[in-house]
Amino acid sequence: MYQKIEASTCHVASRKIVSNFAMKNENHLDEMIRLAFDIEHDLHIKAFWSLDLVCEKKLKQFAAYIEDFCIILPKIKDASALRPATKIAFFLTKSNHRKNGISLTQEQELNLIEALLDRLIQDEKVASKVYAMKALFVLGKKYDWVHDELKMIISQDYSNHSAAYQAATRNLLKKLNK
């Protein structure tokens, strides 16, 4: 697994090869996740690149690692790892909201909320902020105060960002104001 991750690139085709390889073997997936969560390791970014594809296809395979993910999410510093990590957070919150999805504990939900709100107020790239907003929107269906916080943060931050961020913010504000 290590060699596959090391040889991978950010291109989708390369990431798919690695994620498919990991999904076929529990030990490979475990190794990928351990590398992704080791934020001091050089390959943790590449591991996250493929891990988000695993979570997109087979989120239930990631269920045993949710607690560790909630701990590591606020510690991620690199923008290239943060985008797939916030995307995974979005997948988790979306699944948690569904009837037969993955169930997050209240503590995990609150840890995700805190980490994602922190990401919104920090100087992060647009994609990470958009996934954080989407995840927080879903969590706000259970915790009303999250929608209030989300509205306040994205409204204040609106004019300081790119057109892409503003478009995502406008769409979310429409949903929040319904």
Q: Find all residues with CB under 8 Å of 4, minimum gap 6, and list them.
A: 17, 18, 21
- pTM score > 0.75 for this model? yes
Q: What is the C-alpha to C-alpha distance for residues 171 and 118, in angstroms, rounded to an integer?
A: 21
Continuous H helices in 58-141: 66-72, 79-96, 106-121, 126-139
Farthest-apart Cα atoms in the chain, separation: 49
Reference 82, options 48, 34, 41; nearest CA is 48
pLDDT in tens, the chain (178 residues): 999 999 999 999 999 999 999 999 999 999 999 999 999 999 999 999 999 999 999 999 999 999 999 999 999 999 999 999 999 999 999 999 888 889 999 999 999 999 999 998 888 888 899 999 999 999 999 999 999 999 998 888 777 777 877 888 888 888 888 7
Reference 77, options 134, 126, 38; nearest CA is 38
Q: What is the CA radius of gyration of the chain?
A: 16
**CB-based burial, 30-52: b 16+ in 10 Å, e otherwise:** ebbbebbbeeeeeebbbbbbbbb
Give me the pLDDT at residue 39, please. 96
Q: What is the C-alpha to C-alpha distance for residues 74 and 55, in angstroms, rounded to an integer?
A: 19
Give me the pLDDT at residue 16, please. 96
Give me the pLDDT at residue 172, please. 85
Q: Which two tokens stand for residue 105?
A: 């504990």
